[in-house]
């Protein structure tokens, strides 16, 4: 990709993620957030609430599993154990048609497992021209197996798509959160042509639920899949620091620690300790790399002669060398 195209993609996608976080111009009526125990959606939700309050939007938080709601929430709806129809009525009372509102569902699990709820109809009724929906789906929470009893819904459930497939189809934007430390570990493994490291339950170890480096406090990595009105999809990876942290949202490839291939911070394989014990510098500075690239090696001079004559041996005799006629004839 040329430098001009790269710069255009960088500026365009950064403006897009800022527009999505601020919920401007109804850019994404339904945003689906996919998280796991390795990286929760908490930092991303806090960014949404922070931008909503800066834009003077109302924030309605529907709590299915959160014991304590995030700060700066306008209205809190405790939906745990309630029927979806009752929850919808409470949402309608809290949402005003004259004010822009950000509606947050902290978990879609109770809705996806409800036996008689049409999920697509329920979610489609929540967004409006003044209301944007942000819903969280936990990818590592297993869904209950379908009932094998002969009911009227058994035949239809066989051919219906999975809840995650349906949610991806309905959402205009899908944001997947990843741990920054684990992304660095995967990048180091890829640079060394090693298989990707496994974390948490993927390790297959008994008793291990959360992997090393989960929920990095420095920042999280967000994988974006945005669907425009034209149907064209936009995919990008972002580095999202904490709301009160230093710096702003940048492309993952532009993040300093991720961009450096010889990154020393966050190493867990003992390489940093061995480097600090060395009595000399193992790496090269930028000036040393430029000086090394500017060195003209002797065999380059031999290639400047007329073509077809073969190679030439260039040798400058020193003071301590003996002159040998037989070797010089060769």
Q: Could you read off the pLDDT of 254-304 as tens digits, one per residue?
A: 888 888 754 444 444 444 445 455 566 667 788 888 888 888 776 665 556
**Of 117, 122, 116, the residue nearest 103 (C-alpha):** 122
Contacts of 312 (CB under 8 A, 6+ apart): 302, 305
SS3 call for 30: strand
The 10s digit of each residue's pLDDT in 181-198 is 999 999 999 888 899 889
Instruction: Indicate the angle between helix axes 42-54 and 3-22, nearest 10 degrees.
Output: 80
Q: Is residue 311 predicted with pLDDT exceeding 50?
A: yes
Beta bridge partners of 42: none
3-state secondary structure (DSSP) of residue 96: coil
Pairwise CA distance, residues 245 & 257, whole Å: 16
Report the pLDDT value the prediction gives residue 69, as an integer from 0 to 100.
84
**Residue linked to tokens 């090393």:** 212
Q: In the predicted model, what is the mean pLDDT of the chain? A: 82
Helix ranges (H only) for 175-295 are: 180-191, 256-259, 271-277, 286-293
Count CB-CB contacts under 10 A for residue 118: 10
Instruction: Report the predicted TM-score, pTM, of the whole model to 2 decimal places.
Output: 0.74
Q: Counting every residue, how long is the chain?
A: 330
Q: Which of 78, 84, 46, 41 is nearest to 63 (CA)?
A: 78
Residue 212: C-alpha distances to residues 126, 203, 261 (Å): 38, 11, 21
Query: How high is the pLDDT of residue 314?
Result: 62
pLDDT band at 165 (very low <50, low <70, confident <90, very high): very high
Beta-strand pair 219-227/233-241: antiparallel
Compute the average pLDDT of residues 238-266.
78
Tens of pLDDT, residue by residue over 193-229, are 899 889 988 888 888 888 888 998 889 999 999 988 7
Write out the H or E segment, with its range, that includes residue 38: none
């Amino acid at each position: 990709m040329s430098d001009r195209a790269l710069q255009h993609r960088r500026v365009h996608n950064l403006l897009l993620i800022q527009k999505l976080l601020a919920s401007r111009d109804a850019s994404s009526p339904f945003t689906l957030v996919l998280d796991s125990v390795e990286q929760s959606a908490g930092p991303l939700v806090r960014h949404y609430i922070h931008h909503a309050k800066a834009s003077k939007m109302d924030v309605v938080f529907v709590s299915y599993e959160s014991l304590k709601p995030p700060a700066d929430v306008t209205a809190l709806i405790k939906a745990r154990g309630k029927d979806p129809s009752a929850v919808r009525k409470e949402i309608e009372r809290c949402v005003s048609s004259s004010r822009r509102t950000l509606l947050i569902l902290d978990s879609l699990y109770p809705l996806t497992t409800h036996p008689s709820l049409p999920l697509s109809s329920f979610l489609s009724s929540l967004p409006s021209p003044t209301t944007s929906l942000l819903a969280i789906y936990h990818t590592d929470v297993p869904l209950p197996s379908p009932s094998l009893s002969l009911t009227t819904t058994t035949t239809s459930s066989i051919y219906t798509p999975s809840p995650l497939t349906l949610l991806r189809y309905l959402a205009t934007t899908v944001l997947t959160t990843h741990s920054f430390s684990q992304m660095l570990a995967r990048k180091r493994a890829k640079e060394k042509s090693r298989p990707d490291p496994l974390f948490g339950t993927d390790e297959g170890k008994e008793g291990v639920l959360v992997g090393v480096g989960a929920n990095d406090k420095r920042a999280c990595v967000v994988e974006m899949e945005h669907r425009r009105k034209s149907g064209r999809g936009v995919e990008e990876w972002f580095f999202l620091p904490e709301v009160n942290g230093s710096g702003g949202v940048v492309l993952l490839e532009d993040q300093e620690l991720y961009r450096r291939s010889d990154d020393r911070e966050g190493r867990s394989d003992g390489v940093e300790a061995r480097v600090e014990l060395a009595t000399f510098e193992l790496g090269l500075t930028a000036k040393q790399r430029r000086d090394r690239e500017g060195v003209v090696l002797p065999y380059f001079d031999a290639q400047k002669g007329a073509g077809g004559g073969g190679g030439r041996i260039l040798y400058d005799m020193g003071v301590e060398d003996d002159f040998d006629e037989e070797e010089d004839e060769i």
